[in-house]
């Protein structure tokens, strides 16, 4: 999901991640790899994987849009 957020923010709004965000992205990705290493059992793996992928894309678009609007909207309506 963090990769989707960074990519969506970059392609939609041209927002480049900071060094701290890149470090966080690395830590989150490594954590996802550790968690995913235990996956792979069950009857509906493909359906579950597709739902997770769709959720990641939707959440990435949401966070990227919020990030892009942060600088162009007054603080009270943004909140």
The domains of the chain are located at 2-78
**pLDDT tens digits for range 4-50:** 778 877 887 788 888 998 898 898 888 878 777 766 666 667 777 78
Structure-token pair, residue 11: 């392609």
pTM: 0.52
* CA-wise closest residue to 33 among 41, 22, 25: 25
Nearest to 30 by CA among 3, 60, 49, 66: 3
Question: Are 63 and 9 within 8 A, CB to CB?
Answer: yes
């Amino acid at each position: 999901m963090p990769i989707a957020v960074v990519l969506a923010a970059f392609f939609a709004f041209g927002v480049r991640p900071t060094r701290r965000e890149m470090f966080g992205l690395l830590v989150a990705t490594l954590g996802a790899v550790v968690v995913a290493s235990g996956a792979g059992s069950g009857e509906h793996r493909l359906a579950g994987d597709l739902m997770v992928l769709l959720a990641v894309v939707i959440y990435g678009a949401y966070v990227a849009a919020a990030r892009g609007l942060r600088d162009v909207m007054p603080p009270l309506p943004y909140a």
